[in-house]
Amino acid sequence: MPTIAIREATIDDCPLILRFIQELADYEKASDEVVATVPLLRESLFGPTSPSRALVCHVDGEEAGFAVYFHNYSTWQGRRGLYLEDLYVSPKHRGTGAGKALLRRLAQIAVAGGCGRFEWSVLDWNQPAIDFYKSLGAVPLDEWVRYRLAGEALARFAEAG
């Protein structure tokens, strides 16, 4: 049985986290969309007003994966939730239980923090991930579609007021 160790990330983990972010983007067929840098991660993940937190995972002492999460909010529940933005386990360490261990740690953080929900998003073609999430008891919110305003469209709309 591999030994899986999960800990909170520190600012010194930013080069590792960036490497994993790039590997995950490659897998999601979005290699060109990563504009994060180590200095940006240092400020945005570990600055005083950062909304987000990160975990890193080692398998048998080797760097194996990471997770980044923040707290969202449900008006219906009147309480915060936990939203998993990214979870990644490197190909070498898949099948070791590292992904499930990261998810379980996040579920424990959610429960301990009084969160009503633990949520994340998955690409609709990623069937292995979907099957895995369903096996845990997670349900798809497939009536909902996320919309995004970014870049010039965001700037233009903000300025028009």
As a whole number of angstroms, the distance between CA 92 and CA 84 comes to 22
**Touching a second copy, residues 138-157 (CB under 8 A):** 138-150, 153-157
Question: Would you say 94 or 138 has its CB closer to a second copy?
Answer: 138
Q: Considering the complex, what minimum distance in angstroms separates the CB of residue 74 from a second copy? A: 7
By DSSP bridging, strand 62-74 and strand 52-59 are antiparallel
**Touching a second copy, residues 50-89 (CB under 8 A):** 50-52, 68, 70-80, 83, 85-86
Q: Do residues 16 and 7 touch, judged by C-beta distance below 8 A? A: no
5 binds a second copy (CB under 8 A): no
As a whole number of angstroms, the distance between CA 61 and CA 144 comes to 40
Residues binding a second copy: what is the number (CB under 8 A)?
Answer: 75
How distant, in Å, are the alpha carbons of 17, 24, 25, 70, 155 from that of 32? 17, 12, 8, 24, 22
Give the residue, chosen from 15, 37, 60, 127, that forms a contact with a second copy under the rule CB under 8 A: 37
Q: Considering the complex, what minimum distance in angstroms separates the CB of residue 53 from a second copy? A: 9
Q: Which one of 27, 69, 133, 147 is the catalytic residue?
A: 133
Give me the phi and psi of 76, to 5 degrees please: -60, -40
As a whole number of angstroms, the distance between CA 41 and CA 28 comes to 20
Question: Would you say 94 or 117 has its CB closer to a second copy?
Answer: 117
Q: Considering the complex, what minimum distance in angstroms separates the CB of residue 126 from a second copy? A: 9
Question: Would you say 41 or 64 has its CB closer to a second copy?
Answer: 41
* 133 belongs to the catalytic site: yes
Q: Do residues 103 and 137 touch, judged by C-beta distance below 8 A? A: no
Residues assigned a catalytic role? 133
